[in-house]
């Protein structure tokens, strides 16, 4: 260890540090450097080298989970494009009857005919004053209505 | 200490029948210098021995792949540097405490150790070094105590020369401030 009393290069920056002699204040345990090589040799001979993976195996080990996650994500996205599975819905019998009725062209035609007849046969009895009040409420242009009719 | 060159030691190491002998020579050749560095980083003598054993164990398993164009000492020093930093990090993780608590523990070790024979100013300097962040402490130790060249430090730490110079400059200023602080107890 260097025992130089001063370090000229440090003086301007750190005068106190530069004035401290460089010594090694750490005491080495007795006989350490005689024992130590034997201790190392003992550990070396009992040391079983761990399984060393090649860099490619390490890369593969890292890549596999990523691929698995990507594959899972792709499968999930793909399955959302597929037809949605039918969900069991309980439909009331009356609704089923009505739907069956609408499915029959003749029944549907008769329904429209009866609705049309219903509208046509609606009896609306209004006095002239009531009619005028209704037109005023609706803000209907009477002359335009007459032209359209 | 062996008078053999690194190339001669490595040639012996590569032969199956002289491998252990060569490794023993390598340990004997570099143990003191590496011990000094690890001890300054870790402080505790028992922990220093553990870290140094791990250093040579790693050297044993990695020496086969050692490129002979590099210096064996730099290569071993690099392992010692990394192992010391790993040890200090593990200590921090193990204690689940802050950097300051680790520093406190290291300082206590220094105070109670019968293996420290420095005077008051030496103890104060060591305590100042311990207040530095781990990597900066390594930089300061290499430059100040070991008087290593920045280029060699760069090889060991994997940090640029410019960054090392800046780190050392900051470390010196911090230590100077610590040493001149009047309220510090020793």
- Residue pLDDT, tens place only, B62-78: 998 888 777 899 999 99
CA–chain centroid gap for A75, Å, is 15
Query: What CA–CA distance (Å, rounded) separates B109 from A13?
Result: 30
For residue B34, is pLDDT > 70?
yes
CA–chain centroid gap for A142, Å, is 60
B116 DSSP β-pair partners:
A26
pLDDT tens digits, one per residue of B108-165: 777 766 777 778 888 899 989 988 999 999 999 999 999 999 999 999 999 999 999 9
The answer to whether B169 contacts chain A (CB < 8 Å) is: yes
DSSP-assigned letter for residue B147: -
Provide the chain B residues 101-130 that lie in CB contact (below 8 A) with chain A. 114-119, 121-123, 125-126
Chain B hits for A23, CB-CB cut-off 8 Å, are 118, 122
Higher pLDDT, B160 or B182: B160
**A2, A16, A22: residue with CB nearest B176:** A16
d(CA A89, nearest CA chain B) in Å? 58
| Predicted local confidence at residue B186, as pLDDT | 47
Tokens of A66: 């990523």
Chain B hits for A14, CB-CB cut-off 8 Å, are 172-173, 175-176, 179
Mean pLDDT of all residues in A31-55: 81
- Do residues B75 and B83 make contact, with C-beta atoms less than 8 angstroms apart? no
Please name the residues in contact with B124: beta carbons below 8 A apart, sequence gap of 6 or more.
B178, B179, B184, B186
Q: Is the dihedral of CA B91, B130, A1, B68 positive or negative?
A: positive
For residue A1, is pLDDT > 90?
no
d(CA B139, nearest CA chain A) in Å? 15
Question: Given an 8 Å threshold on Cβ–Cβ distance, is A14 in contact with B175?
Answer: yes
Mean pLDDT of all residues in A58-76: 87
Q: Has the ipTM of the complex gone over 0.85?
A: no
Domain layout of chain B by residue ranges: 6-180
Rg from Cα positions in chain A: 50
H/E segment holding residue A92: none
Which chain A residue shows the shortest CA-CA distance from B118? A25
A26 DSSP β-pair partners:
B116
| Burial of residue B66, with CB atoms counted within 10 A of its CB: 0-12 exposed, 13-18 middle, 19 or more buried | middle
Chain A hits for B119, CB-CB cut-off 8 Å, are 25
Please name the residues in contact with B125: beta carbons below 8 A apart, sequence gap of 6 or more.
A17, A20, B118, B175, B179
Please tell me the CATH code under which domain B6-180 is placed: 1.10.1740.10
For residue A126, is pLDDT > 90?
no
Chain A hits for B31, CB-CB cut-off 8 Å, are 33, 36-37
Percentage, residues of chain B above pLDDT 90:
62
Question: Given an 8 Å threshold on Cβ–Cβ distance, is A22 in contact with B35?
Answer: no
Question: Given an 8 Å threshold on Cβ–Cβ distance, is A1 in contact with B176?
Answer: no
Q: How many CA atoms are closer than 13 Å to the CA of B115, on its beta-carbon side?
A: 17
| Predicted local confidence at residue A141, as pLDDT | 72
pTM: 0.65
The tokens 């460089």 sit on which residue? A22
Query: What CA–CA distance (Å, rounded) separates B92 from B100?
Result: 10
**A25, A44, A45: residue with CB nearest B122:** A25
- Do residues B81 and B74 make contact, with C-beta atoms less than 8 angstroms apart? no
| Predicted local confidence at residue A3, as pLDDT | 45
Q: Is B18 helix (H, G, I), strand (E, B) or coil?
A: helix
- Do residues B63 and B13 make contact, with C-beta atoms less than 8 angstroms apart? yes
The answer to whether B53 contacts chain A (CB < 8 Å) is: yes
Please name the residues in contact with A111: beta carbons below 8 A apart, sequence gap of 6 or more.
A101, A102
Chain A hits for B53, CB-CB cut-off 8 Å, are 36, 39-40, 43
| Predicted local confidence at residue A84, as pLDDT | 57
Residue A49 burial (CB count, 10 A): 7
């Amino acid at each position: 260890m260097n025992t130089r009393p001063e370090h000229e290069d440090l003086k301007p920056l750190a005068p106190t540090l530069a004035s401290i002699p460089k010594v090694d204040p750490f005491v080495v345990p007795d006989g350490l450097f005689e024992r130590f090589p034997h201790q190392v040799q003992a550990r070396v001979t009992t040391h079983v080298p761990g399984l060393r993976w090649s860099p490619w195996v390490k890369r593969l080990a890292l890549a596999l989970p990523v691929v698995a996650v990507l594959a899972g994500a792709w499968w999930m996205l793909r399955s959302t494009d597929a037809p949605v599975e039918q969900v069991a819905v309980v439909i009331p019998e009356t609704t089923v009857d009505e739907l069956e009725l609408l499915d029959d062209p003749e029944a549907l035609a008769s329904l429209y005919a009866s609705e049309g007849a219903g509208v046509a046969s609606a009896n609306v009895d209004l006095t002239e004053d009531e009619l005028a009040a209704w037109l005023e409420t609706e803000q209907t242009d009477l002359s335009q209505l007459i032209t359209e009719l | 200490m062996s008078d053999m060159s690194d190339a001669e030691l490595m040639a012996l190491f590569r032969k199956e029948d002289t491998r252990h002998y060569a490794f023993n020579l390598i340990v004997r050749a570099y143990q003191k210098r590496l011990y000094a560095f690890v001890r300054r980083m870790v402080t505790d003598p028992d922990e220093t021995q553990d870290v140094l054993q791990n250093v040579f164990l790693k050297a044993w398993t990695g020496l086969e792949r050692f490129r002979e164009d590099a210096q064996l000492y730099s290569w071993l020093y690099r392992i010692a540097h990394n192992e010391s930093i790993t040890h200090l990090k593990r200590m921090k993780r193990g204690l689940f405490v802050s950097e300051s608590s680790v520093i406190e523990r290291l300082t206590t070790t220094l105070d109670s150790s019968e293996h420290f024979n420095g005077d008051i100013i030496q103890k104060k300097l060591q305590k100042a070094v311990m207040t530095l962040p781990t990597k900066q402490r390594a930089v300061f130790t290499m430059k100040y105590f070991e008087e290593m060249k920045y280029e060699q430090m760069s090889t060991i730490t994997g940090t640029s020369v410019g960054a090392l110079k800046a780190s050392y400059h900051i470390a010196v200023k911090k230590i100077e401030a610590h040493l001149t602080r009047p309220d510090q107890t020793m």
